[in-house]
A and B are shown apart, each in its own frame.
Chain A
């Protein structure tokens, strides 16, 4: 895509000073979200995915890099100057029990972002009716309070609030992980419908890989504050290029892979305070070579809309080669000496 991305982060860094040392929450992260596109952001705890969401929302100040919305630098905007951005970029949070004020009626919750944008009362009331309908809630919900709704209904209210001012993009941080399985699908379908109906772009942050695979056009994998791989969703799962992605896919239990052999990545993500040298993944990597401990791999173009930050991309370790046959077909192992370790 050559059009101006709707949202773009360029070399974004976020560092926090803590008593135990400097936390590199985000380190040189670049990403683009295009109009109408759903981008999934996955990573484990400490990968920086929530920090990235809050930084894009301008709730956390970046330590370096720039943030562009529709081609305009929004990284330096302050206070009232952010108001036009708020109309165009909204957010949905994980827990619909804490993200809705329990004392406010649903009508007031939905009116708040519209008041902030200077809408008048008749227009707001008409919009509330529209919003309730759009997210599948009855019209009489307006006069009730959050406590009268289930978790799934509350998340519909949170989504209605986010889309109220007609944003072009919504950042959703773990939008369904607090919900029961049978309810998650309702919210996923709602999000997909909103994309289709209003060309809304989503940045969906989640730890649930099958869910992100279901909803996203493109997936970005974060590890210790860095993007390690980025690819169209189907390709990322079918043929992961980064060994961490391969490990993450293999580690994910789904109902349709019962009993399969898995490569279990050793260890746990290291602390973002005390980061490994070179490639941040090398201490856990099953195919790491000497240079991985010293040279940090840059995120490079791997063709077909894919990017990977690895010195040995596409080398899938032997226990996984059955899973990801496209990259290590049977009998080709001898041609890839790294595979035999």
Chain B
């Protein structure tokens, strides 16, 4: 059985103008010890999927149907009180921006201590020891001294390590990471990716990213999301070397690689559909160079690809 399971999740803003449905039947499975990358562009619904699995939906958002389960426990209808037990405990969370993701008026030790004492019955001094060990485990030098530091006193990379320590400190069953390295410099990003690869594999991880390179770097499997639907999923190497959905193939042709210098990038024409666009046909059809008459029907995800004219693996990278 999978660790985290999202089944046919539909999510929308019923009261907003145009009643946008931002997730239209998302199915995802994350197995124990696996990192799944959810890859998409802005507005695709990738962050909303993550927020739904954390019980952190913005005001107005509503789960219309579907189920989210963690180790068999249904998370869909939890109360805020139940969520407080799960968030930071069974579910660890890492956000993009460590400057806004950490409370600036609380010391690192107080942030960690609060989370530890909420989820574990330990004394304050035991909590401080656990906090110190958690900082050491994410590669923070002089962890004892760092407990009294405030977020602004740390560099961007160190702040992100603190956020990872916070996510891991109560030994969560799954870790959700939303663009965890996007705000970091390249050399620091590499350090954090190495840390995440290691730590997320110890439990299970769902990583949200717009960066195919980052996904390639640490994810075992990739799911590509477009206009609120999974259009392709599979093992990372398979998806990147032999994409079957024209959108995945299009993204790969649009991204510069070190090997590709001298060849012109091939952009995907047009724009992604807006949030209120209806799904009466394949959402990618207006931008797709492989579209046929069949594409007037919304394709289902069959055999890991949602396309009427899925590419053959020979059309590989």
Q: Which residues of A contact B (CB under 8 A)?
A: 44-45, 150, 152, 180-186, 188-189, 192, 207-211, 213-215, 233-234, 237, 247-259, 262, 264-266, 268-269, 284
Contact = CB atoms under 8 A, between A and B. Distances in A.
Contact of A186 (B158, B185, B187, B267): B267
Q: Main secondary structure on chain A at its contact with chain B?
A: helix
Given A182-B251, A251-B186, A264-B194, A211 B256 contact: yes
Contacts, number: 136
Interface centre among B212, B216, B256 (most CB of A within 10 A): B256
A188 B265 contact: yes
A185 B186 contact: no
16 contacts: A44-B186, A181-B41, A181-B255, A182-B267, A185-B266, A185-B267, A188-B265, A210-B258, A234-B261, A237-B258, A252-B258, A253-B211, A253-B213, A254-B257, A256-B259, A266-B191
B190 interface: yes
Given A181-B251, A182-B254, A189-B267, A269 B261 contact: no
A269 B240 CA distance: 32
Contact of B216 (A208, A234, A258): A258
Given A210-B257, A254-B258, A256-B259, 13 more contacts: A180-B41, A181-B254, A181-B255, A183-B267, A214-B260, A252-B186, A253-B190, A254-B216, A255-B257, A259-B217, A259-B237, A265-B191, A268-B156
Contacts of B292: none
Given A45-B156, A185-B267, A253 B256 contact: no
A23 to B, nearest CB: 16
A180 B42 contact: yes
Interface centre among A181, A189, A262, A269 (most CB of B within 10 A): A181
A248 B236 contact: no
A180 B193 contact: no
A257 B267 contact: no
B261 A247 contact: no
B37 to A, nearest CB: 11
A265 B187 contact: yes
A269 B185 CA distance: 9
A256 B156 contact: no
Contacts of A45: 156, 185
B137 to A, nearest CB: 17
B199 to A, nearest CB: 15
Nearest to B41: A180
Contact of B185 (A44, A182, A255, A266): A44
A251 B257 contact: no
Contacts of A265: 187, 190-191
A219 to B, nearest CB: 11
Contact of B256 (A183, A213, A234, A247): A213
